Structure 1
């Protein structure tokens, strides 16, 4: 289970996986997110295949100050296999190669993923996330 960098031809499979994992929201077009990340110099989407199926992804980006993780997804059929920590480690490695000193992520209220990240050494940050639609 070695992560690989996804390319534009992987969009349909990645978006389907994100939808199956409940990661998409009506106000964010996941196909646009995918295309932007794959085309960007400061971003990538890493994925793992099982046979011909894409079973895990993580989007990673360097905003010039910090690294960010998004769309960590593991197919329901592969949960508990240790794939999520492999994907997080691969994303962290991608950031380390670029000299990024810190990685951050956001967990939506009601998502129980915070315990998973805490087990990997992530800590809750004392910040307020604010947003504005452009």
Structure 2
């Protein structure tokens, strides 16, 4: 397995991966999310690729000078439990640390206990905050 930057030709495979991982939502167009991220800190948008060229996982990250953020961490269902997600998280943590990022944040849906436990196992803790959002562009 290798971790590499996302390429334009990966779009269909990424959308399929995110759908298989139940990450897509009707109000977010994943193709637009992919295109937007490829324009901003594209080096922090990576996939884990198998030796035969299949995309096994993905993660999208960013750094605003204050905090790092991680989104769309996904592992193909057939590759779960093989260390793909851990490798992607470690890759992003390393890249963000090299940029001087002091803290990495992420959001998990409140009812997704398995994913919360995965992150806790990697050393993440629940911050006592309220996540707010406002859509500026409708997809």
Per the TM superposition, whether the score is higher than 0.5 is yes
Q: Which residue of 2 aligns with 1:107?
A: 108
8 Å Cα contact 1:67/1:95 also seen in 2: yes
What is the aligned residue count? 134
Deviates more, 1:35-44 or 1:3-12: 35-44
Q: Distance in 1 between matches of 2:134 and 2:45?
A: 25
SS at 1:46's partner residue? Answer: strand
Structure 1 residue runs without a partner (length 5+): none
SS at 1:122's partner residue? Answer: coil
Q: Quick check: 1:128 aligned with 2:123?
A: no
TM-superposed CA distance for 1:97, in Å, is 1.7
TM-superposed CA distance for 1:74, in Å, is 0.5
Q: Which residue of 1 aligns with 2:88?
A: 87
Q: Which residue of 2 aligns with 1:38?
A: 38
8 Å Cα contact 1:42/1:63 also seen in 2: no
SS at 1:33's partner residue? Answer: helix
Q: Distance in 1 between matches of 2:22 and 2:65?
A: 29
Deviations 1:78-125, CA, capped at 9 Å, x for gaps = 001011110000011111121111100000121120000000000000
Q: Distance in 1 between matches of 2:126 and 2:80?
A: 24
Q: What's the C-alpha RMSD, in Å, of the aligned pairs?
A: 1.3
Change (3 A) 1:65 1:29: same
Change (3 A) 1:18 1:124: same
Q: Which runs of 4+ in 1 moved over 4 A?
A: none
Which of 118, 123, 126 aligns to 2:120? It is 118
